[in-house]
Structure 1
Amino acid sequence: MPALHGAGQRLVPEGRHPQTCDASVRQKMAPGLKSMSEAFSPRNASGKPTVKVDAPTPEGDEAVVPTAKIAVDGKPLRAIMLSRSHGVDPKSFTAKVETAKVNGKWYIGDFDMDSGNQTLRPQGQ
């Protein structure tokens, strides 16, 4: 999905160019997944952080979970995301994960984040 800038000018996300068109899905997604992994992990996290969800068991095969109910190494995902951003008003920041159950296992299907009129940027940029 291309990003639009200004008067509809398309920007090519980092890591997406003609040379990667024949690459595996994982290779194509690697640059984005690495930055997401860093943004969604507590500082000094182990190589494989423990993730727990504190939400009622869904009755069906789909659920929406606010990031405040998802803990990564014991810390709320919402708090982690806010700590790794700058200039974001915690009062206007919301984020939730849409999940689906496939063959008995839960998977993230979509991620919805809103910071009002602000732009989220990792700290240090």
Structure 2
Amino acid sequence: MTNESHTSSLNTDDSWSRCPVCFEDYSLSHRPTTFVCGHSTCIDHTSGINRLRECPICRYPLNQQHEYNVSYSLEEASCLYRSIKNTAGYSTIEFPSEHIGSSHIKIMNPDDIYARQLQEKFN
């Protein structure tokens, strides 16, 4: 039995941090709201003459009388994700599997990723 640390990569598909209607990143100018079905869009798409009548992802009917609120957690997570992602030279975020659920995060730069791939190839 080895004492190696196993890691699982964070999915780098960042579509969760972007509105599926206008494709803008969630931010203070494009604030997210979350529907009963669990999907999200910019809150601006829930009011006015062009408001959504159904979820753009799953087509769940939206209550036209409901007043939607900003999903502050999603907004903050999206901003934090972009901040980490935009850190110069870093592209992969990994969580050691024994620490999933804790705040332990390892950020790898492309050189480290390439070195790891070479090691795996020759071992």
Interval containing the TM-score (normalised by the shorter chain): under 0.3
Structure-1-length-normalised TM-score: 0.25
Q: Which has the larger radius of gyration?
A: 2
Q: Which has a greater percent of strand?
A: 1
- Which has the higher relative contact order, 1 or 2, with Cα contacts under 8 A spaced 6 or more apart? 2
